[in-house]
Amino acid sequence: MFGFGELFYGLSIILTLTNIMYCFIGCVIGTLVGVLPGLGPVAAMSLLFPVTLHIPPVSALIMMAGIYYGAMYGGSTTSILVNIPGEAASVITCLDGYQMARKGRAGVALGMSALGSFIGGTLSIVGLQMIAPPLARFALAFGFPEYFSLICCGLVVLTFMARGSMAKALMMAAFGIFLGTIGTDLFAGTPKFAFGIKILYDGLGIVPVVMGLFGISEVLMNIEEGITQEIFKTKIKNLFPNKKDWADSAGPISRGTLIGFFLGILPGAGPVISSFTSYAVEKKISKHPEKFGTGVIQGVAGPETANNAAVGGAFVPLLTLGIPPTPSMALLLGCLLSYGVQVGPLLVKNSPDIFWGVIASMYIGNIMLLVLNLPLIGLWVKVLKIPYVILFPLILLFCVVGVYSLNSTTDEVILMVIFGVIGYLMKKFAYEAAPMVMAMILSPLMENNLRQSLALSHGSFMIFFTRPLSAVLMITAIALLILPNLPWLKAKKWEGLEETE
């Protein structure tokens, strides 16, 4: 029961010197990019994407996963000590974390953040371990129409969860679908929107697009706006919370775990929305909501637990359906595909070493991160003192070299710069990049399943509504498109979150 036998098999894979080393490297890099503002897990994973091509797939995935959940741990350090989020999922931690630091409780805030992250992260792996195998068995019944409907539903959920305008998110998803169609048509063999450019015949690469949209654009924003790092000067002591802190945090940690895990499964929600939702929920149910923002521990424990729990949740659709719910997961998918691993419901059966190896590595990784983030906190504080003047050329250089070394062509570097400019403009004009990237990645799968379904039904779109599972997914998608436009629900959407912001 609960896959304990398989978990031991996974532990036998991770407990080798090489894999432990890759897990450790992933956790260290993850914490580092989490700590450093302006470099998130997506950019770091993109950077290491070319490196992973030289190592076995299990080790590559273990390292990439380590970066992802490691960044969630590291992000809080910057939020608490500098009042600048290390990465997007730690934005909300700034509110109470920094105030706690100002009151001389930086140690407790950092400690609770690490311990909450550990609890949320570990429990979400238990959830993943329990949910993923039965879900994968269920997904074996999926045909072309079900997959198409699932992708449509996923993209609509993604746009529904978008924090800005849903219309804008839908536009970005549509543009992403178009970007995903660039390349060579698999059925007719004709080039599509390649304009005679050699690198476009194989389709747009995920790495240059993601690095441009998330890495380069962030640096451009920072150059334009300027980053001022002022570390709150305080002695970090008493990392372990006292009894009262634990009593105050027990509820937020439990709720944060559930919120994070289940929101993490949804496309687009991921750690960012999970942390915001957790904060909003804690504020709503608190007897003293007015104290939020003044340095209450609940405002740190809940969101930090939720953003780590979301990581375990995000692995569920990736490992069972082959559908990535966040751009980071999309990179993991790209990594698996580059090895020729069949991602989807058959992954558990055909590649149990990858499936259980990654799950087991996450348990080990969370323990490593607890050690990295509690006793070694002083080291990360020193990292925070590196001036941005030194960091930004290095980040740019990492992006350029990372993209170049993928296919040894400068054309992809130019492509990355172009997407960097697009990403910068999208930030300026309030368009979210995540729906675009997700849609771009899912587009080839979507197109294949759409065309196969229509061929199967002799051109009738009713095939998506006559098969029960497909119909449920399609109706859910349509309902989600209509619901936010109903007047009485329009005002309700993200009311709590907006209040929080």
Partner 1 sequence: MERDKWSSLVWLGTGILICIGSLNLSLGELHNPGPGFLSFFAGLVLAVFALVIHLQSRKAPAADKKKEPKPIWTNRQRGFKMALTILALLVYAVIMNYFGFLVSTFIFLVFLLRVIEPQRWSVALFGALVASLAFYGIFELGLKSQLPRGLFQIF
* Binding of partner 1 by 451 (CB under 8 A): yes
Lookup result for tokens 């990439």: 64
**Euclidean distance between CA atoms 448 and 185, whole angstroms:** 10
223, 231, 471, 481: which one binds partner 1 (CB under 8 A): 223
Residue whose structure tokens are 């995000």: 314
Angle subtended by helix axes 434-456 and 327-338, to nearest 10: 60
Show Cβ contacts of residue 343 under 8 Å, excluding neighbours closer than 6 positions: 318, 319, 322, 333, 336, 337
Nearer to partner 1, 176 or 303 (CB): 176
Q: How far is the CB of 175 from partner 1 (least distance, A)?
A: 6
Per CB under 8 A, does 478 bind partner 1?
Answer: no
Cβ within 8 Å of residue 214, ≥6 positions away: 40, 42, 43, 46, 327, 423, 433
Q: Is 378 in the site for partner 1 (CB under 8 A)?
A: no
Sign of CA dihedral 305, 128, 22, 61: negative
Cα end-to-end span (Å), the chain:
43
Total number of residues binding partner 1 (CB under 8 A)?
A: 60
Give the binding range for partner 1 (CB under 8 A) out of 253-261, 287-295, 345-353, 418-426: 418-426
Q: Is 401 in the site for partner 1 (CB under 8 A)?
A: yes
Half-sphere exposure of 141 (CA within 13 A, CB side): 8
Nearer to partner 1, 250 or 455 (CB): 455
Which among 133-141, 341-349, 374-382, 423-431 is the span making contact with partner 1, rule CB under 8 A?
A: 423-431
Find the shortest distance in angstroms from Cβ 116 to partner 1: 33
**Binding characters for partner 1, 224-253, by CB under 8 A (x = yes):** xxx---------------------------
Spacing of C-alpha 402 from chain mean position: 20
383 binds partner 1 (CB under 8 A): no
Joined together, the tokens standing for residue 498 give: 């907006």
User: Which one, 170 or 473, has the nearer CB to partner 1?
Assistant: 170
For the record, the structure tokens of 411 come out as: 């054309």
- For residues 176 and 494, give the distance between their C-alpha atoms in angstroms, rounded to a whole number: 24
18 binds partner 1 (CB under 8 A): no
- φ, ψ of residue 184 to 5 degrees: the values are -115, 135
Residues 463, 453: contact at Cβ < 8 Å?
yes
Shortest distance (Å) from residue 362 CB to partner 1: 25
Nearer to partner 1, 95 or 439 (CB): 439
Query: Within positions 35 to 64, which residues make up the interface with partner 1, using CB under 8 A?
Result: 50-51, 54
Token couple for 23? 């897990």
- Which positions lie near partner 1, rule CB under 8 A? 50-51, 54, 165, 167-168, 170-171, 174-175, 177-178, 181, 185, 187-188, 190, 192-193, 216, 219-220, 223-226, 389-390, 392-394, 396-397, 400-401, 404-405, 408, 410, 413-414, 417, 420-421, 424, 428-431, 443, 446-447, 450-451, 454-455, 457-460
